């Protein structure tokens, strides 16, 4: 099948869509509930509050400070570098502030609610993409695989990954179904959520160009969607540049102060190389190399699977930005979470197995992921 994006939609109406999506959402909710239970048990044994771990550590604190005080808060480190909250895109803190204003929830609790709802929306979007391309069983398996990721606990934190993945998945689905304006609006919102929103914009632009080439001209709604897509990210980046006086590069200067940048993967390669100075470090280095090789293999498999261009472009940009960034190496696994199309080849394979066998596999992965997530979140560094 070469024109997967031309496959007719199944079902009629919202009720049918919800009924079709329900198994995927049920599986997703079950996996995430397991992760939270394991986290609670681990937290009780360690004397740490699961609520604090999920809502009031690392990036979560920066988002709630933006919601509470707006932009302009910063910390000066002993080495003289300045960590400014301008590094954090505004959609999540805006939603936290809005929800807190109409409810008794604190900003932190509002962030947890937004993340919980967004994660379900992300699961629905991942299912919609998988279902359209490879059928409902593959769609459910793709959602399950996304839920059982070792860093899946982040999906339940007051972080922006779930919100971004939801917007990205539904924007990509809109691209696959030719809803250009919807895709553009969702891409723009994704660009207000995380810097990697550029991946969604690129996916839409490439697909619009391919569509124009096929049609022999650019459709008006496709052009409008392409124009809308970058407005969110561009608007925020330009605003930061104006506020800091750095112009077009103001946001990059803010990120540089945080130690973030794009060096083509040199810093990450050096980080891996430095692991080979001891036996335990060498084992970790081998694991990192195997992980990178696995990502490349999955992407090549996606290409061979003939995934639509929108998915390949989105995934490629997300992976490139995650692996080639120069800072926060421990955060790279969660930065890869929006690259959910990488899971589709595995989902198709699982969907071909007997239900009982695939359930046992996913169940085992869910338990392992829940345990690892609790261990990871109780660590000293940010996920």
Distances 352 to 26, 125, 136, 349, 357 between C-alpha atoms, Å? 20, 21, 12, 5, 10
Does 291 map to a domain? yes
Place of tokens 């996606």: 302
As a whole number of angstroms, the distance between CA 66 and CA 74 comes to 11
pLDDT tier at 275, thresholds 50, 70, 90: confident
Does 32 map to a domain? yes
Tell me: the pLDDT tens digits for 61-93?
999 999 999 998 888 888 878 899 999 999 999
pLDDT tier at 12, thresholds 50, 70, 90: low
Does 12 map to a domain? no
Q: Is the pLDDT reported for residue 381 higher than 70?
A: no
Tell me: the pLDDT tens digits for 147-187?
999 999 999 999 999 999 999 999 999 999 999 999 999 99
Q: What share of the chain is helix, strand, coil (3-state, %, to 5)?
A: 75, 0, 25
User: In this predicted structure, what is the pLDDT of residue 382?
Assistant: 64
- Residue 289 burial (10 A CB sphere; 0-12, 13-18, 19+): middle
Tell me: the pLDDT tens digits for 100-127?
999 999 999 999 999 999 999 999 999 9
Task: Write b or e for each residue in 305-343: b if 16 or more Cβ atoms lie within 10 A of its Cβ, otherwise e.
Answer: bebbbbbbbbbbbbbebbbbbbeeeebbbbbbbbbbbbb
- What's the domain range around 24? 20-378
Does 100 map to a domain? yes
Q: Please give the mean pLDDT across all residues of the chain.
A: 92
Tell me: the pLDDT tens digits for 295-345?
999 999 999 999 999 999 999 999 999 998 887 777 889 999 999 999 999
- How many domains, the chain? 1
Closest-CA residue to 224 (of 249, 205, 240, 243)? 205
User: In this predicted structure, what is the pLDDT of residue 25?
Assistant: 96
Does 347 map to a domain? yes
CA angle 92, 309, 230 (to 5 degrees): 35
Does 357 map to a domain? yes
Does 2 map to a domain? no
325: phi then psi, degrees, rounded to nearest 5? -75, 150
- Residue 105 burial (10 A CB sphere; 0-12, 13-18, 19+): middle
Does 208 map to a domain? yes
């Amino acid at each position: 099948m070469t024109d997967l994006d031309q496959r007719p939609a199944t079902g009629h109406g919202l009720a049918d869509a919800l009924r079709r999506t329900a198994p995927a959402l049920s599986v997703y909710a079950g996996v995430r509930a397991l992760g939270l239970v394991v986290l609670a048990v681990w937290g009780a044994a360690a004397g740490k509050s699961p609520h604090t771990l999920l809502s009031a550590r690392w990036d979560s604190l920066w988002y709630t400070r933006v919601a509470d005080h707006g932009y302009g808060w910063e910390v000066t480190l002993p080495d003289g570098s300045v960590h400014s909250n301008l590094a954090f895109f505004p959609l999540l803190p805006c939603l936290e502030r809005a929800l807190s204003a109409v409810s008794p929830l604190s900003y932190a609790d509002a962030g947890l609610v937004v993340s919980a709802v967004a994660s379900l929306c992300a699961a629905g979007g991942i299912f919609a993409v998988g279902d359209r391309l490879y059928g409902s069983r593959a769609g459910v398996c793709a959602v399950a695989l996304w839920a059982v990721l070792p860093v899946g606990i982040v999906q339940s934190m007051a972080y922006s990954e779930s919100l971004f993945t939801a917007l990205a998945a539904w924007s990509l689905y809109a691209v696959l179904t030719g809803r250009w304006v919807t895709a553009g609006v969702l891409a723009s919102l994704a660009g207000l959520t995380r810097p990697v929103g550029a991946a969604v914009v690129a996916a839409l632009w490439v697909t619009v160009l391919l569509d124009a080439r096929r049609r022999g001209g650019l459709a008006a709604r496709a052009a409008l969607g392409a124009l809308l897509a970058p407005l969110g990210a561009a608007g925020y980046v330009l605003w930061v540049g104006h506020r800091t006086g750095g112009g077009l590069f103001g946001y990059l200067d803010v990120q540089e102060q945080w130690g973030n940048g794009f060096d083509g993967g040199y810093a990450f390669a050096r980080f891996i190389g430095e692991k080979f100075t001891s036996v335990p470090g060498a084992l970790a280095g081998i694991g990192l190399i195997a992980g990178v090789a696995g990502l490349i293999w999955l992407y090549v498999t996606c290409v061979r699977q003939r995934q639509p261009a929108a998915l390949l472009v989105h995934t490629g940009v997300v992976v490139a930005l995650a692996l080639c960034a120069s800072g926060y190496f421990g955060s790279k696994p969660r930065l890869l979470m929006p690259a959910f199309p990488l899971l589709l080849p595995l989902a198709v394979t699982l969907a071909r197995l007997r239900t009982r066998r695939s359930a046992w596999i996913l169940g085992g992965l869910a338990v392992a992921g829940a345990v690892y997530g609790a261990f990871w979140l109780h660590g000293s560094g940010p996920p």
